[in-house]
Amino acid sequence: MMNQIEMGLKMLIGVDPVPDSQGEKMCWDSMMKLKGFEAAGRKQGKHKQRIWLKISSNGLKIVDERTGVSHIN
């Protein structure tokens, strides 16, 4: 039996693919872009996405609570 931890969360900002694995400016630019998207969604009455974060020895999995779709595996 595989040990697994599951946590119910709300995705606060979002996901943004970045071209590099490091760089303060790149991280800042990505964060500002996502915060802009989140603010625009809030003005339109959209709610934060509810997710399950599943952590096991096989890795991380992010699953949409409403649809059951796995975003990262």
- Give the domain CATH number at 53: 2.30.29.30
Provide the residue range defining the domain that includes 27.
4-14+22-72
Domains of the chain: total: 1
Q: Is the dihedral of CA 34, 38, 41, 43 positive or negative?
A: negative
| Upper half-sphere CA count for residue 56 (Cβ side, 13 Å) | 11
Q: To the nearest whole number, what is the mean pLDDT of the chain?
A: 83
Per-residue pLDDT, 5 = 87
**Would you place residue 73 in the very low, low, confident or very high pLDDT band (cuts 50, 70, 90)?**
low
37-66 pLDDT, tens digit each: 888 888 998 887 888 888 888 888 888 888
Per-residue pLDDT, 37 = 86
Residues 17 and 29: their CA atoms lie apart, in Å, by 12
Whole-prediction pTM value?
0.52
Is 1's pLDDT higher than 60?
Answer: no
Residues 30 and 26: their CA atoms lie apart, in Å, by 6
